[in-house]
Structure 1
Amino acid sequence: MVSSDESLPQRLPPIDRALDRYPYCIVWTPIPVLTWIFPFIGHMGICMSNGVIRDFAGPYLVTEDNMAFGRPTRYLRLNPKNVDGGSSAWDEGVSKASVLYGTRMHNIFCDNCHSHVATALCNMHYENRTSWNMIILCFWMFVCGKYVNVCGFVKSWLPFLIFISIVVLMAVYF
């Protein structure tokens, strides 16, 4: 027999954009110059069950609630039901990844903030997978991520649109 608690949908804690609290989310923010040219590339972090953001910000540095390139502009809400062990397994997966990445050198091409998030998801066996990687996460966020607000959208896309406009104008007039 199924208990009444199991038959009810699990309520996720609310997102609080003003306080940058994104429980069970992957968060993203643009990296100046790099995102202006390649809008699908940015800085990524993963949040604890209480919404506290953890991100691999540089060599031997995992920050808490202080993303390396500013406040999140996008987020991707995940479901702790896709983790065996729920909230405690979620937090343990994020914590283990954070401890590990606190001992690692940052490499923008192959061991970076996306790798930190992928390791957290692998640690918790999110969706019964241990094959998360930075490429999957990059495109998952690009395609499925939501903007935190209109300013988040503008901060993400305006520099790219200005860059493209300059390139087009130079191509037309030179």
Structure 2
Amino acid sequence: MMADASEADALTNDKEDCEKIDPDKSRFPYCIVWTPIPGLSWLLPFIGHMGICTSSGVIRDFAGPYCVSEDDMAFGRPTKYWRLDVSKVCGGSPEVWDAAVRDASQQYGHKMHILCCDNCHSYVALALNLMRYDGSSTWNMINLCLLSLLHSKHVSIADSLKTWLPFLLLYGVIITVTVVLNVR
């Protein structure tokens, strides 16, 4: 009887360990992850590269034409993550989550990457639509961009700086130059 209880505790602990976010290992179970795109994110810091993670935290992202990468995000390690609730998946199971991520990956592995209309955000939206996350099948790149901006957390202070510092410096220089030229 004692062995059964300790085995159940061990299984519960293993499951909890698998679902823990571990930035050092780039493991973000049930998360949407985001990283800035150099140049573009400096101008518009809410625009960046997005991926979705499996139940074990493996990152999948639509990295380019006909390419869905695994654990190698196109623009570097995630700087922000948005943890989603697996119970909001139709069926509420890790298997449904993983199947939706796998199916979206298979579909996008045969697609051309089009920056403005069929991109990494569209790939994540398809995965959420396939799992009917939060009872919805209307996820798209616009609502993902906005909701990610509102709900995601920075992985670290350094990652927060990586996201916002180039934008602040660029606009600081523009404002300074504008003020200096207008004073003369």
Q: Judge same fold: TM > 0.5, yes or no.
A: yes
Please name the residue that 1:5 is paired with.
none
Q: How many residues align?
A: 165
Moved more, 46-55 or 135-144: 135-144
Displacement, 1:93?
0.5
Among 33, 38, 49, which residue is 1:32 paired with? 38
Highest Rg: 1 or 2? 2
Q: Which runs of 4+ in 1 moved over 6 A?
A: none
Corresponding letter in the other structure for 2:27: R
Among 16, 19, 27, which residue is 2:25 paired with? 19
Please name the residue that 1:77 is paired with.
83
**Structure 2 spans left out of the alignment, 5+ residues:** 1-14
Among 23, 46, 67, which residue is 2:73 paired with? 67
Please give the alpha-carbon distance, in whole angstroms, between the structure 2 residues aligned to 1:127 and 1:142. Answer: 18
Please give the alpha-carbon distance, in whole angstroms, between the structure 1 residues aligned to 2:115 and 2:139. Answer: 17
Please name the residue that 1:93 is paired with.
100
TM-score by length of 1: 0.93
TM-score by length of 2: 0.88
Please give the alpha-carbon distance, in whole angstroms, between the structure 1 residues aligned to 2:131 and 2:174. Answer: 44
* SS at 1:18 equivalent: helix
Q: Where is the helix percentage greater, Structure 1 or Structure 2?
A: 2
**Aligned residues with identical type, % of pairs:** 52
Displacement, 1:84?
2.1
Root-mean-square deviation over aligned CA pairs: 1.2
**Structure 1 spans left out of the alignment, 5+ residues:** 1-9
Please give the alpha-carbon distance, in whole angstroms, between the structure 2 residues aligned to 1:160 and 1:78. Answer: 28
